Amino acid sequence: MHTPITGGCLCGQVRYRVDGPVAHVSHCHCTMCRRATGGLTGTYVNVARADLTWTQGQPALYDSTPGVRRGFCVGCGGPLTYQNEQRAARISLTIGSLDHPEAHPPGKHIFTDTRIPWLTLDPTLPGWE
**Which long-range CB contacts under 8 A does 33-36 form with residues at least 24 apart?**
33/82, 33/111, 34/116, 36/64, 36/70, 36/79, 36/82
Give the pTM: 0.92
Asked if residues 78 and 37 have their Cβ atoms less than 8 Å apart, the reply is no
- Is position 123 within any domain? no
Q: Domain residues for 49?
A: 5-117
- Is position 127 within any domain? no
Asked if residues 110 and 128 have their Cβ atoms less than 8 Å apart, the reply is yes
- Is position 41 within any domain? yes
Taking only the tens of pLDDT, the chain with its 129 residues reads: 678 999 999 999 999 999 999 999 999 999 999 999 999 999 999 999 999 999 999 999 999 999 999 999 999 999 999 999 999 999 999 999 999 999 999 999 999 999 999 998 888 887 877
Task: Count up the domains in the chain and report the number.
Answer: 1
Q: What is the CATH number of the domain that holds 60?
A: 2.170.150.70
- Is position 128 within any domain? no
